[in-house]
Amino acid sequence: MSLSASQNRAGLALIAPASILAIIFLIAPLSSILVLAFTDYQLGDRSLRFIGFENFQALIDDPVFWKSLSNTLIYSAVVVPGSMLLGLVSALLIDAGTSLRSFYRTAFFMPVMASLLAMAIVWEFMLHPSFGIVNTTAKALGFASHNWLKDGDIALYVLAVIGIWQSFGFNMVLFMAGLSAIPRDLYDAAELDGTPHAWERFRLITWPLLAPVAVFVAITSAIRSFQVFDTVHALTQGGPNKATEVLLYTIYAEGFEFFRSSHAAAITIVFILLVVSVSLLRFVSLKKNGEGA
Amino acid sequence: MASVNIRSVVKTFGETHVLKRIDLDIRDGEFISLVGPSGCGKSTLLRIISGLEQQSGGSILLDGATVDRIRPRDRDLAMVFQSYALYPHLTVAENIAVPLVMRRLNTTERSLLGTLLPSAKAKRKEIAGEVGRVCDALSISMLKDRKPASLSGGQRQRVALARAMVRKPSAFLMDEPLSNLDAKMRVQARGEIAALHRQLGSTFIYVTHDQAEAMTMSDRIAVMMGGEILQVDTPDQIYQMPLDLRVAEFIGSPKINVLQAALTEGDVLSFTFADTANNRVQAAFRPEAARLAGIANAPLAGVIHHIENLGADLFVQVMTAGGNLVVVRCDPGGIRPAIGDKVGIVMDEARLHVFGTDNRRIEGSYRLEAPL
Ligand SMILES: Nc1ncnc2c1ncn2[C@@H]1O[C@H](COP(=O)(O)OP(=O)(O)OP(=O)(O)O)[C@@H](O)[C@H]1O
Ligand SMILES: [Mg+2]
């Protein structure tokens, strides 16, 4: 089929707004980052020089970068399953209950909407080594108290717990939407077909029908957990001794504290590759599901 | 095999009384239809029998024993849902196997690792054999590996039937299983379900709002309206001896003709309203219980308003002088009336039904008032 010239013009006119916005907000910044990553530019410089892969070579030799990358992955490995499981369980409980549904939904969704920076301060109080509620409760129950944010062995996991608290409400809402799309008839049929208990109904119906939602939730959770920054910045500044150094925080420190813009750009490229590869996973899983149906 | 007894079952949702004291005895092996207009509580009653819904009062007895405290899965009933409720992620064969897998395999054998157990393998093999036989019986063997989404409505309906059959339950509950099919498929499926009933000999409780389905398939019909059962009888009795005007109006197509009339001299029906005040009744007759005649000798007269030609029958709509539309069946082989003709209508006195103003049947034999 060939298009007439006027159809062509109309088509171009229609995609123009979207393309212009994409160029301004997406393609231009991305390509400047890409260019920057291969130069020796520092913030404030009047000229720059292309230095090939030197920035990336420097990253490979930089233990802080590796620490930052592994911290980010560990953080995600805790937050993604944690927030998914908590989101799923709370969605199932709310869905099964009849009263107070909207109350719980709103309450659990609150952390998602609240400013994380403000919430971080609350967490800082709660985790305070001497008068924080966490330690006073631990002591009252006979557990050892910790300096939660200053202990290099646990600080990252404390941040992960805060990350779970912050994001499970979002996952819960997604799971609830998925649950409401499952026809009630199926559960009635399953009861007459003899499913003995709720777990078996979950295995027979809920989980398989929720699988596409779960994949989506896993991938968005992963991408959001890669982007952890606010809590790190507010509570630990990457410390103690780089124990909570994460990719976005390293980018921030390199770019805006040490002004090594090109170095920051190289880390950004790594970060973007990470996000893109996870997004590709979603694409692959969608394709597989599409063929399976 | 099971008889089902419904004893004074009441159901309320908040303030609304959906079922008002339902009593119904269903015999072992019987095909009974619950028929009635939308919202009359048919599905609710069926769900109460299955146990999916809890009644507000009364009891359900299966084979003489009350099952009010027994879970749906343990009542040994199978249900075919209007939506078919097939598990969308399972193949046809897996769908049909679910009732057997859930009942015969224990939790360990059903688990992911348990599938490796020799006992699980043996049971699954046996189940596959039974699924195969049911599929053969309903001629859906070639669909075994397909997912429900890729099936037509008729095929899904068979799969749902197969899933209900595979366990050999003592009674089948069906909630409008044919309402998602087109008219042609429905007629075919009607015959198949009736044949299935004869072959299995189990009790079938069949919910429908389509009176034709109820008439063609059932041993007995229970006509429900507004949360009550108005009449339970064989299709013939329901058609020929409706005990309530609403039953008469609901069963039969085209609808029965209903005219306001007065009873004079005890058993003489008059359509003219000389003495309107007392002895008011509602007279009803079916289109085939009347014929067109000359105006001279007819108790009713009017002008032909419209003619529906169905090939085998000619349904002539006559607008009477009183402003009622009366439908009369004519033989298409005879003289064809024309729209606008002035005609008289003569009814068969033996097939006249008379109902009081409370809609209840008034038994008796009636004569028509001699024409003026
Ligand atoms: N869960 C419920 N809560 C409140 N009202 C209900 C509920 N379920 C059913 N009803 C009401 O009960 C009445 C009977 O419903 P039911 O589904 O039994 O009707 P039905 O005869 O099966 O109609 P249809 O032919 O449309 O399926 C309806 O008025 C309906 O609104
Ligand atoms: Mg219904």
Neighbours of B372 (CB within 10 A): 7
Query: Which of B92, B211, B216, B217 has the alpha carbon at shortest distance from B159?
Result: B92
Do residues B359 and B260 touch, judged by C-beta distance below 8 A? no
Share of chain B above pLDDT 90, in %: 53
Mean pLDDT of chain A: 83
pLDDT at residue A121 in the model: 83
Q: Does residue B134 belong to any structural domain of this protein?
A: yes
Q: Tell me the pLDDT tens digit for each residue of B236-264.
A: 999 999 999 999 999 988 999 998 888 87
Domain housing B11: 2-244
How far away, in angstroms, is B249 Cα from ligand 1 center?
22
Identify which of B83, B103, B149 has the shortest CB distance to residue A194.
B103
Domain boundary among B222, B244, B266: B244
- Residues B238 and B358 occupy one common structural domain: no
d(CA A22, CA B39): 53
Greater model confidence, B168 or A44 = B168
* CA distance, residue A190 to nearest chain B CA (Å): 8
Query: How many domains does chain B fold into?
Result: 2
pLDDT at residue B277 in the model: 55
pLDDT at residue B273 in the model: 63
- Residues B56 and B189 occupy one common structural domain: yes
- Residues B203 and B318 occupy one common structural domain: no
**Does residue B16 sit at the A interface (CB-CB below 8 Å)?**
no
Q: Is the pLDDT of residue A291 over 50?
A: no
pLDDT at residue A149 in the model: 75
Q: Write down the ipTM of this complex.
A: 0.85
- Residues B262 and B239 occupy one common structural domain: no
- Residues B222 and B306 occupy one common structural domain: no
Mean pLDDT of chain B: 89
Share of chain A above pLDDT 90, in %: 16
Rounded to 5°, angle at Cα B283 from B281 and B287: 165
Average the pLDDT over B278-294 and give the result.
88
Q: Is the pLDDT of residue A65 over 60?
A: yes
A4: phi then psi, degrees, rounded to nearest 5: -75, 165
pLDDT at residue A293 in the model: 38
Q: Counting atoms of ligand 1 from 1, which one is nearest the CA of B82?
A: 27
Cα separations (Å) of B130 from A192, B50, B134, B140?
Answer: 19, 24, 6, 13
B314: phi then psi, degrees, rounded to nearest 5: -120, 115
- Residues B240 and B304 occupy one common structural domain: no
Share of chain B above pLDDT 70, in %: 98
Provide the 3-class DSSP secondary structure of residue A201. helix
- Residues B340 and B209 occupy one common structural domain: no
Do residues A84 and A285 touch, judged by C-beta distance below 8 A? no
Q: Which residues of A190-228 are buried (b: 16+ CB within 10 A; e: fewer)?
A: bbbbbbbeeeebeebbbebbbeebbbbbbbbbbbbbbeb
Ligand nearest the Cα atom of residue B36: 1
Contacts of B85 in chain A (CB under 8 A): 183, 185-186, 188-189
Q: Does residue B355 belong to any structural domain of this protein?
A: yes
d(CA B17, CA B12): 4
Identity of the highest mean pLDDT range in A7-21, A151-165, B30-44: B30-44
Q: Does residue B238 belong to any structural domain of this protein?
A: yes
Burial of A290 (0-12, 13-18, 19+ CB in 10 A): exposed
d(CA B155, CA B195): 17
DSSP string, A159-177: HHHHHHHHHHHHHHHHHHH
d(CA B162, CA B98): 11
The tokens of B73 are what?
């899965």
- Residues B24 and B163 occupy one common structural domain: yes
Best residue in B54, B79, B174 for a mutation probing chain A (most A CBs within 10 Å): B79
Residue of B nearest to A187 (CA): B85
Q: Is the peptide bond before B287 cis (omega within 30 degrees of 0)?
A: no
Average the pLDDT over A266-275 and give the result.
87
pLDDT at residue B106 in the model: 82
Closest C-alpha residue for ligand 1 atom 22: B43
Token look-up 């349904």 returns B315
How far away, in angstroms, is B3 Cα from ligand 1 center?
25
What is the torsion angle, in degrees rounded to the nearest 10, for the CA atoms of residue A232, residue A236, residue A241 and residue A242?
0
- Residues B49 and B9 occupy one common structural domain: yes
d(CA B113, CA A133): 44
DSSP 8-state assignment for residue A50: B
Q: Is the pLDDT of residue A245 over 80?
A: yes
The answer to whether the Cβ–Cβ distance between A191 and B110 falls below 8 Å is: no
**Does residue B97 sit at the A interface (CB-CB below 8 Å)?**
no
How far away, in angstroms, is B38 Cα from ligand 2 center?
7
pLDDT at residue B107 in the model: 80
Do residues A228 and A74 touch, judged by C-beta distance below 8 A? no
Query: Which of A154, A150, A156 has the alpha carbon at shortest distance from A228?
Result: A156
Q: Does residue B277 belong to any structural domain of this protein?
A: yes
Q: Is the pLDDT of residue B7 over 70?
A: yes
B63: phi then psi, degrees, rounded to nearest 5: 50, 40
Identify which of B79, B89, B107 has the shortest CB distance to residue A192.
B79
Give the contacts of A270 (CB within 8 A, at least 6 positions apart).
A59, A69, A247
Domain boundary among B224, B244, B264: B244
Give the contacts of A108 (CB within 8 A, at least 6 positions apart).
A90, A94, A168, A169, A172
CATH code assigned at B273? 2.40.50.140
What are the percentages of helix, strand and coil residues in chain A, rounded to 5? Answer: 75, 0, 25
pLDDT at residue A292 in the model: 42
Rounded to 5°, angle at Cα A30 from A29 and A32: 65
Q: Does residue B71 belong to any structural domain of this protein?
A: yes
CATH code assigned at B220? 3.40.50.300
pLDDT at residue B194 in the model: 92
- Residues B179 and B305 occupy one common structural domain: no
Neighbours of B20 (CB within 10 A): 15
A·B CB contacts under 8 A: 59
Do residues B21 and B8 touch, judged by C-beta distance below 8 A? yes
- Residues B199 and B341 occupy one common structural domain: no
Provide the 3-class DSSP secondary structure of residue B283. strand
The answer to whether the Cβ–Cβ distance between A194 and B89 falls below 8 Å is: no
Q: Does residue B371 belong to any structural domain of this protein?
A: no
Identity of the highest mean pLDDT range in A29-33, A96-100, B166-170: B166-170
The answer to whether the Cβ–Cβ distance between B81 and A188 falls below 8 Å is: yes
Q: Tell me the pLDDT tens digit for each residue of B89-142.
A: 999 999 999 999 888 888 888 887 777 788 888 888 888 898 998 888 888 889
Min mean pLDDT across A47-56, A82-91, B45-54, B182-191 is at A47-56
> What domains sit in chain A, N to C, each tagged with a CATH number?
53-292 (1.10.3720.10)
Q: Does residue B372 belong to any structural domain of this protein?
A: no
Spell out the alpha helix ranges (H) of chain B. 42-50, 92-104, 107-110, 118-137, 153-165, 183-200, 211-217, 235-240, 245-250
Q: Is the pLDDT of residue A163 over 60?
A: yes
Identify which of B52, B99, B167 has the shortest CB distance to residue A188.
B52
Closest C-alpha residue for ligand 1 atom 28: B39
Tell me, rounded to whole angstroms, the distance of Cα B227 from its chain centroid. 15
d(CA B58, CA B8): 5
- Residues B307 and B215 occupy one common structural domain: no
